[in-house]
Structure 1
């Protein structure tokens, strides 16, 4: 996917609404928020990713002659509107939470402030990019947490297409994977590529031992041998030990060597293989495992005492198999009036989760000063400011009797949204993927252990500031009064 020109990667109704705005001479600025309503897989957190690709998309936003010719062929668009599209480009502002940041439901991950037609057309592509990469990044972080590190992403062949495999690999590395098997992702994003050999390599030789020897001769410094082609404990591991002994006899000490298990009872086989390797004097040989792993199976293998030191995770990671969609949405929050003031808007629903937070907003993160752990997030109006030296009362926006008092000096404050585009010009430089990975690791360290557990984690509080809560309830009262007077 070339994210530098994805203008027609959109739903048709974005374009039909654009034409409607154009024909009605509607050009006022609006504010849209990107947010999600629940964390995937019952987790207590998510991780935002994909901002670099959003930037590429917005920078490349324009309609080519071929784009316009195609739209004309649909017979849905009038010539004056198509003529307007010839010089169309993004002129607005975008604020976003940087990639690799821990995020929670309801808070804006990204905010678009732009003329309504510009804000409308970017909806689908932004959601497509942010939803996918945030989903895979969050899944990867859970897998890496369960494994304790040492996870390689290698799901390309099972991903839903080349783009999902490649950008998914990027997201997985941000989430903590040590590398990917995807060579294109390695080239595009300068991330480590890793891999060994397949069963077909073993089967192409007359004997397993011959296959191992040939591979060791080719890659003596990175000799990881797949031992389960025929019989793991009776054939594979003994032959691997024989090859490791031969390398040692030649005076070769590989930087990385060991075995890979891809089938069978991984807990049992890894414990048996560990004893065999140690007895042969190869205590530093690693044992890598694959075979349809996810965070739950990895956690179970640890509980069983499996002797596995690195993990190859494919299908369940790159597809986020247990939760295949992130669920991010793009909702109108404010519309500019004739005076240049933003009038807050709210979407009302009988489903309380779908009632939006109105107005121009930002997000503040409150940390415990002593531990550096997250105390809560506070969604606030954009013109609010908080001084950590002042006491602060925060409260649950639904169960308002649930309150927490923060003494001045006991907490620190960080505003999460940063400017990305101003007046159509990018003002943000995306870090390298490996730098984002390091940042994400530091972000994960700000979570309490109770919020990282895989099952029934402790939720992190996301509260509304008093001014935002008051505004929201005023608008809700107005809606209800309007309905009562109909």
Structure 2
């Protein structure tokens, strides 16, 4: 069994509700939409990510015989529900914002229309996939904005919250603008460029640091990036300079060095001087070690001579904002608009579309959330991606998603591109949607 594709990767109440729906013959089409209620602190925008994995999950949806047997043994579920689950396949429609779309609170980024038990069962895994990658892509985009074109590399797998999280974080950060990842499987699975150097253990395993550098260079002649802070950073930089001529004689070029500890700005300046004076001006400096967008900002504003950055734990776990206040809510059932009115968690009813208005300079001016049948001005953000359980187009290339993110970041108003919390972007609710909400309210 592959846990990541199992239909049982869900909450118990999805199955208990499905049984009640099935027993009461509540099988009419239901409309669920996923949105974020509010931005995390110090965030000004979000980047939609994870749709590809959602569509894969929907395409492969089924309950295996082993899972059916286990469900039967629990004694919780009726024979009728088990027969229903035995033939379960996703037969519905999906509309969504394309991956890489920048969005804001109260804007649906995904809509699923399917028979009620089916649409309900999907909630947990759909939220799980979209919440995580959107969270990571949104944080990664902040580092991309701050880095101002300098390469960023994902180094976060070892501290990710599980294997799938590490793999999907590599994907989400790459589509947000990172240059690559150290996660090898992400290279195989997604075609993401791979980057890597050496660990301190490699240096420690040798009696002499210079010999460690030489052995690594011979083993990886096309990727000689040497970790120089195991003992004395500046002394190690001098050893690199001393070693470089003999390596060059063998046709091996030192591409760069990596700094992973201490005062990175101070070490970078000293190491840059040593490399330049040692005839290695081409050798680049890669910095790593507890970096996030705030540390990047300090290093870049301080003009530290660092050419690229490896970002790990803080990005892969989205340490300062490790979750999103997202929701997957019923907006219509059997043609009847539905609305949740819970205090602080009210929803807008019915099927919706989001329109984005752009100014004369091409920048975003405001968004409008309205009913699906209201043709408003601007660019509609939700697009059809599945009909009757079938995908409408092949998977987009990650390179295309990266370009979408890059373009949309340039279209953001300048105040929203900073790390500090800015005045919220304007998301308007149409009069048609407000009228629909009032109509629904009067019916209860």
Is 1:197 the counterpart of 2:162 in the alignment? no
User: What's 1:134 paired with?
Assistant: 134
Structure 1 residues 418, 311: closer, same or farther in 2, change over 3 A?
same
Aligned to 1:379: 369
2:318 is matched with 320
* Equivalent residue number for residue 350 of structure 1: 343
CA contact (8 A) 2:369 2:429 kept: yes
| Deviation string, structure 1 residues 293-352 (Cα, Å, up to 9, x no partner) | 11111111223331111001111111111111122210111112xxxxx2211111322x
Q: What are the equivalent positions in structure 2 for 1:467-486 lying under 5 Å apart?
A: 467-476=432-441, 478=442
Q: Give the equivalent residue in structure 2 for 1:288.
A: 286
Which residue is 2:276 aligned to?
A: 278
Correspondence 1:261 to 2:254: no
SS of residue in 2 equivalent to 1:35:
strand
Q: 1:81 deviation in Å?
A: 1.7
Unaligned runs of 5+ in 2: none
Give the drift of 1:377: 1.1
- In the alignment, what sits opposite 1:82? 82
Displacement of 1:83 after TM fit? Answer: 1.4
Name the SS of the counterpart of 1:445 in structure 2. Answer: helix
Match of 1:446 in 2: 411
Q: Helix, strand or coil: the match of 1:26?
A: coil
Partner of 1:219: 220
SS of the residue 1:42 aligns to: coil
Cα contact 1:40–1:135 (8 A) shared by 2: no
> 8 Å contact 1:198–1:226 — kept in the other structure?
yes
Kept in 1, the 8 Å contact 2:35–2:107? The answer is yes
Aligned equivalent of 2:246: 246
Q: Which whole-Å CA distance do the structure 2 matches of 1:372 and 1:462 have between them?
A: 18
Alignment of 1:331-410 (within 5 A): 331-336=329-334, 342-351=335-344, 354-368=345-359, 370-387=360-377
- How far residue 70 of structure 1 moved from its aligned partner, in angstroms, is 1.1
| Structure 1 residue 4 displacement after superposition | 7.4
Q: Could you tell me which residue of structure 2 aligns to residue 152 of structure 1?
A: 153
Q: Distance in 1 between matches of 2:252 and 2:232?
A: 27
Q: After the TM superposition, which of the residue ranges 301-310 and 221-230 deviates more from structure 2?
A: 301-310
| CA deviation map 1:28-71 (0-9, x unaligned) | 11111100112234211000111111111101111111111111
Supply the distance in 1 between the matched residues of 2:409 and 2:82 (Cα, whole angstroms). 47
TM (normalized to structure 1)?
0.88
SS at match of 1:333: strand
Q: Which residue in the other structure is 1:103 paired with? A: 103
| Per-residue Cα deviation, 1:134-155 (whole angstroms, up to 9, x for no partner) | 1111111112222223110011
Task: Return the alpha-carbon distance in structure 2 between the equivalents of residues 147 and 10 of structure 1.
Answer: 38
Distance 1:32 1:57 in 2: 17
The Cα of 1:250 is off from its aligned counterpart by 4.9
1:10 offset after TM fit, Å? 0.6
CA distance in 1, matches of 2:241, 2:104: 48
Q: Distance in 2 between matches of 1:182 and 1:291?
A: 17
Judged with a 3 Å threshold, the aligned counterparts in structure 2 of structure 1 residues 433 and 3 are, in CA distance, closer, same or farther, namely farther
Partners of 2:65 and 2:89 in 1: CA distance: 14
Q: Is the 8 A contact 2:224 2:253 kept in 1?
A: no
Offset at 1:432?
A: 2.0
Q: Distance in 2 between matches of 1:150 and 1:72?
A: 53
SS at match of 1:222: coil
Q: How many residues align?
A: 443
- Quick check: 157-166 or 437-446, which moved more? 437-446
Measure, in 2, the Cα distance between the counterparts of 1:138 and 1:64.
35
Q: Aligned partners of 1:204, 1:438: CA distance in 2, in Å?
A: 43
> Which residue matches 2:420?
455
Q: Which residue of 2 aligns with 1:392?
A: none
Aligned to 2:341, the other structure's residue is in SS state: coil
Give deviations 1:111-150, integer Å, cap 9, x for gaps: 0111101110111110010001111111111122222231
Instruction: Please give the residue correspondences for 1:420-431 in structure 2 after superposition, counting only pairs within 5 Å.
Output: 420-431=385-396
Q: Secondary structure at the match of 2:26?
A: coil
Q: RMSD of the alignment, in Å?
A: 1.7
Q: What displacement does 1:187 show? A: 0.6
- d(CA) in 2 for partners of 1:326 and 1:6? 24
Deviations 1:178-220 (A, max 9, x none): 1111111111111111101011111112211111112222333
Partner of 1:113: 113
8 Å CA contact retained: 2:157, 2:163: yes
Shift of 1:371: 1.5
Instruction: Indicate the SS of the match to 1:225.
Output: strand
Which deviations, in whole Å up to 9, do the C-alpha atoms of 1:221-244 show, x marking residues without a partner?
3211111011001x2110112223
Q: Is the 8 A contact 1:107 1:363 kept in 2?
A: yes
Distance across 2 between alignment mates of 1:145 and 1:347: 37
